[in-house]
Amino acid sequence: MSEPDPILVVSDLNVSLASGKRMTPILREVSFALRPGEILGIVGESGSGKSLTASAIMGLLEPPVRIVSGAVAFKGRDLAALDEKAVRAIRGNEIAMVFQDPAMSLNPLLRIETQMVESIVAHDRGCSRHAARERARAALETVGVPAAAKRLRAYPHELSGGMRQRVSIAIAMLHSPAVIIADEPTTALDVTIQAQILDEMTQLCRKNGTALIWISHDLSLLSSFADRICVMYAGRVIESGPCGEVIGAPRHPYSRGLILSVPAMARAGKDIEPIPGYPPRVGMVPSGCAFRPRCHRASPACAVQPPLQTVASQQSAACFHPFDDKLQVPA
Amino acid sequence: MISFLAKRIMQAVAVVLATASMVFFAVFIIGDPAQLLYSQNASAAEVEAARRYLGLDLPLYQQYFNFMGGLLHGDLGRSFVYGKPALGVILQRLPATLELAFASVVLAVVVGLPLGLYCGLNPRTIRSRLIMAVSALGVSLPTFWIGIIIMLAFAVNLRLLPTGGRGNTLTVLGVPWSFLTIDGLRHLLLPAASLALWQASLILRLTRAGTEEVLRQDYVRFARAKGIAPGRILWVHVLKNVLAPVVTMVGLSLGGTIAFSIVTESIFSWPGAGKLLIDSIYAFDRPIVVAYLMLAVTIFVLINTFVDLIYAAIDPRVTLGAADSGS
Ligand SMILES: Nc1ncnc2c1ncn2[C@@H]1O[C@H](COP(=O)(O)OP(=O)(O)O)[C@@H](O)[C@H]1O
Ligand code: SF4
Ligand SMILES: [Mg+2]
């Protein structure tokens, strides 16, 4: 079986926070690839650098945070090396984004219509106002917004949280992008609406062949629909691979700890095992393997940074002492 | 909308009546105008006649009811000093005050808003730190002191601008205006600038803080993620959100300037209603003082109502009923 070429390749991405002359690294050597139409889940505790990775790909980092080195290759072009204008032509057009909190991501003073039409016109100069409105209405209907024509005239505060997030998703899908980055898009919503929106969005992406990067701190949620999973810890990708392998046979002690600390995913008959301690804060990351202070497999070898290396046919982990057995998942 | 306006009008009437009553009694306690109006050597009989003519011989409650009765017919009494209807005397002086107040607010907005926006967009540059430092002075220095200093600097020492008065005026709609002639503008500049400095500094700081706050919002990042051009993000997404609180601030400051330009008018001999008020207080000219304060309150309420309407027009989340109970 031959894999299609990746559409987005992030390689050795280093992002730092500049304060005076000091540079505090936040993302380190982040690398992963996204194939067309694939759903990639990025998981990690809060503060592990997931949102920053998304911002770096979109070219949305703001000073004092910036890319120090590394590449974001989209269809063979390095976005990190393009000028702002060229990246803007790609943003919202070929790579779109959905943010976490739908209450914050729509401008409260502008009608839904204004916010959708401006997105259309930004990339289709020639599109008439009337045609743009028609496209906006159709896009709302696609994501399951009832009475779309009426909703277009509404202001964000007149819609429920779920409806607002559907609007954001409709905006992201306006130009049929090749990639959508969704940064915890359902975290702020009610559980029932979470499931609905997740279903609708993943189905639409699969139907349109849109590749999806779904960022979440919830591994059990991701495991239900992602094709592949990247686990992040303290600004690094520490394990990645096909969803089934990462969930079923996690190699890195942190990934394994993450899975065993989720009640629904822990081994049958066993208590959940929370990971001891806390993740390090930015600027306080220990040298060598960042997970070392919390790791029960740590050895003196771990005082050096372990590289992300292949541990199984498609699975990589950054660990000197990776597990090689499967987890027994409850039936 | 209609019920909002009706409620506002009723509130305004209640406030104006209460103000009128308080001022009426307060001025009565201060002194007897008849003593001041007539020369020391006027006979007791002359003073008595004057008191009777002005209605000052009646018991206090009687005077009060006469006053309130007149008020309901739109009659604020006659000025003891000018012998003319009080409202007329004030309205004659009001355009000069309005002109000064509007000139200062326009100046403050034209200076404060763009500078505030600049500082909010470029918070780390040396230039914006300098601007912020000047504005910190601007909000803390008293207006009268500024007035005296800039008069000394630009009018007395450098002799660039006149020290006071309205200069040449052009009469439009039966009212003389300074801002329509070059000489008038030269006279307007210093008093307007001295009133504008504090307001401009406040608008600048509010705009700066608002801009920094709005730039951090997710909807600005989302707009960038949509590929919207920076110009449109600034003028449509950012400015609109920054402007909403600034409008309120400008309205309040306009009301304050109209009502309290008294000191500046005195320093620059600007013949407005503020100067009239000071003169009338010295002369115990009660009808003028009462009418002036009632007018000031009315203008305040009008401006507040207008500001709330604008705010509701900018921000769809504000319903007029809520704005009403909130303010
Ligand atoms: N603008 C910024 N300035 C300073 N630190 C930042 C900034 N943005 C993010 N960080 C830091 O970078 C780390 C990663 O943040 P983020 O990517 O938002 O994490 P996640 O999305 O995984 O919760 C956090 O510890 C956060 O404190
Ligand atoms: S490298 Fe060492 S410390 Fe780090 S996770 Fe692996 S075993 Fe633990
Ligand atoms: Mg995040």
Count of domains for chain A:
2
Q: Is B218 within 8 Å of A96 when comparing Cβ atoms? A: no
Of A174, A195, A221, the one marking the end of a domain is A174
- Is the minimum CB–CB distance between A99 and chain B shorter than 8 Å? yes
User: How sure is the predictor about B327, in pLDDT bands with cuts at 50, 70 and 90?
Assistant: very low
Q: What is the pTM of this model?
A: 0.83
pLDDT of B326 > 50? The answer is no
- CA-based nearest distance B317→chain A, Å: 7
Nearest Cβ partner for B227 among A91, A104, A168: A91
The reply to whether A1 falls in a domain is no
Task: Map out the domains of chain B as residue ranges.
Answer: 31-75, 87-144+192-326
The reply to whether A64 falls in a domain is yes
Task: State whether A83 and A216 are in the same domain.
Answer: yes
The reply to whether A330 falls in a domain is no
Task: State whether A243 and A255 are in the same domain.
Answer: yes
**CB A242, CB A228: distance < 8 Å:** yes
Test mutation, B122, B215, B219, B314, chain A, max A CBs within 10 A: B219
Q: What's the pLDDT tens digit per position in A169-205? A: 999 999 999 999 999 988 888 888 888 889 999 999 9
- The CB of A17 under 6 Å from ligand 1? The reply is yes
Cα gap A81→A84, rounded to integer Å: 9
Task: State whether A247 and A225 are in the same domain.
Answer: yes
Q: Which CATH architecture has domain B87-144+192-326?
A: Orthogonal Bundle (1.10)
**Cβ-based contacts of A93 with chain B (< 8 Å):** 227
- The CB of A71 under 6 Å from ligand 1? The reply is no
Structure tokens at B294: 């009632």
The reply to whether A328 falls in a domain is no
- Is the minimum CB–CB distance between A147 and chain B shorter than 8 Å? no
Task: State whether A167 and A184 are in the same domain.
Answer: no
Of A148, A174, A200, the one marking the end of a domain is A174
Q: Which atom of ligand 1 is nearest to the CA of A48?
A: 22
The reply to whether A331 falls in a domain is no
Task: State whether A219 and A265 are in the same domain.
Answer: yes
Task: State whether A170 and A182 are in the same domain.
Answer: no
Task: State whether A54 and A151 are in the same domain.
Answer: no
Task: State whether A207 and A77 are in the same domain.
Answer: yes
Task: State whether A109 and A250 are in the same domain.
Answer: no
Q: Which of A275, A294, A319 to mutate to test the pocket of ligand 2 (most atoms within 8 A of CB)?
A: A319
Q: Which atom of ligand 1 is nearest to the CA of A232?
A: 22
Task: State whether A161 and A198 are in the same domain.
Answer: no
**Neighbouring residues of A116: CB distance < 8 A, sequence distance ≥ 6:** A132, A136, A139, A140, A152, A167, A170, A171, A174
Which residue range forms the structural domain that includes residue A129?
105-174
- CA-based nearest distance A169→chain B, Å: 11
Of A154, A174, A194, the one marking the end of a domain is A174
The ipTM value here is: 0.91
Query: From B122, which residue of chain A is nearest by alpha-carbon distance?
Result: A63
Q: What's the pLDDT tens digit per position in B65-121? A: 887 888 777 777 788 788 888 888 888 888 889 889 999 999 999 999 999 999 999
The reply to whether A245 falls in a domain is yes
Q: What is the mean pLDDT of chain B?
A: 83
Question: For position A235, which CATH number holds?
Answer: 3.40.50.300
Q: What's the pLDDT tens digit per position in B189-236? A: 889 999 999 999 999 999 999 999 999 999 999 999 999 999 999 999
Of residues A320, A330, A277, A326, the one with CA closest to residue A297? A320
Q: Which residues of A47-71 are buried (b: 16+ CB within 10 A; e: fewer)?
A: bbbbbbbbbbbbbbbeeebebeebb
Given a cut of 50, the residues of chain A with pLDDT beneath it are: 331
Task: State whether A90 and A43 are in the same domain.
Answer: yes
Give a three-class secondary structure readout of B226-290.
CCCCHHHHHHHHHHHHHHHHHHHHHHHHHHHHHHHCHHHHHHCCCCCHHHHHHHHHHCCCHHHHH
Counted across chains A and B, CB pairs separated by less than 8 A come out at 74
Q: Which amino acid is at B74?
A: G
The reply to whether A182 falls in a domain is yes
